[in-house]
């Protein structure tokens, strides 16, 4: 999945990004509200991790604007403020959860998973379809009961497609979700990952259909 991290502490931002990337997520980093606003205006994210005290303002103003614009991307607030009133205020503005600094990175990762599950309306993360069993949290996949090893971006590509069966994804949209702005992406990168995933899915009833000029769609042939 693709996360936006809004945090001005560079050391902490690096630590959070590294942990999330180990879990296979793509992380964009903004160190101030101006950059964060630019990111959400031009990109699409599955989750926003938002610090409150930023160099150019209060992160809660960003949250308020974000919710007023009808964008429903889940937001987890990162705050050094431990007062209950501060936490309640963030939740009332539309935050989905909050984590008080300092925090354990494993806890933050768990809270991210919980928020994403709630937003998807799921109590479990495991998805079963067409002979495929996929656990995006564990990063595991089985086809017809046989474990399959996927690379991180193959996992995230499958996650995008299997969560929206029948939906068409253009190459640009897939690229935006799988890579960060800093990644050096070749023109055929998406084709390479599609080909790899197709090979893994071959024994199942799930097929990736190419729609010329439009993109790709996951179909269930069962």
Q: What tokens does 58 get? A: 């209060």
pLDDT of residue 156: 85
Q: Could you state, in order of their start, the residue ranges of all structural domains in the chain?
A: 2-120, 127-220
Is CATH 1.10.10.10 the classification given to domain 127-220? Answer: yes
Average pLDDT over residues 112-129: 76
pLDDT greater than 60 at residue 122: no
User: pTM of the entire structure?
Assistant: 0.70
Q: Is 182 exposed, middle or buried (0-12, 13-18, 19+ CB in 10 A)?
A: exposed
CA 7/CA 55 separation, integer angstroms: 10
pLDDT in tens, 164-181: 899 999 998 898 888 877
Q: What is the DSSP letter of 218?
A: E
Helix, strand, coil abundance in the chain, percent, nearest 5: 40, 25, 35
CATH number of 2-120: 3.40.50.2300
């Amino acid at each position: 999945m693709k996360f936006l991290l809004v945090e001005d502490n560079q050391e902490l931002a690096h630590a959070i990004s590294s942990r999330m990337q180990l879990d296979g997520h793509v992380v964009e980093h903004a160190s101030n509200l101006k950059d964060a606003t630019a990111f959400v205006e031009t990109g699409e994210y599955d989750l926003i991790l938002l610090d409150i005290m930023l160099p150019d303002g209060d992160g809660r103003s960003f949250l308020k604007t974000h919710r007023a614009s009808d964008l429903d991307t889940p937001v987890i607030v990162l705050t050094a403020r431990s007062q209950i009133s501060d936490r309640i205020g963030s939740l009332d503005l539309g935050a989905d959860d909050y984590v008080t600094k300092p925090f354990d990175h494993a806890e933050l990762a768990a809270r991210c998973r919980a928020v994403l599950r709630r937003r998807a309306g799921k109590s479990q993360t495991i998805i079963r379809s067409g002979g495929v069993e996929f656990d995006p949290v564990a990063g595991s996949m089985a086809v017809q009961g046989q474990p399959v090893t996927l690379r991180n971006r193959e996992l995230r590509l499958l996650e995008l497609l299997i969560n929206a069966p029948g939906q068409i994804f253009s190459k640009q949209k897939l690229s935006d979700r799988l890579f960060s702005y800093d990644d050096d992406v070749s023109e055929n990168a998406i084709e390479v990952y599609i080909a790899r995933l197709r090979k893994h899915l071959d024994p199942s009833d799930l097929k990736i259909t190419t729609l010329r000029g439009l993109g790709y769609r996951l179909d269930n042939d069962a």
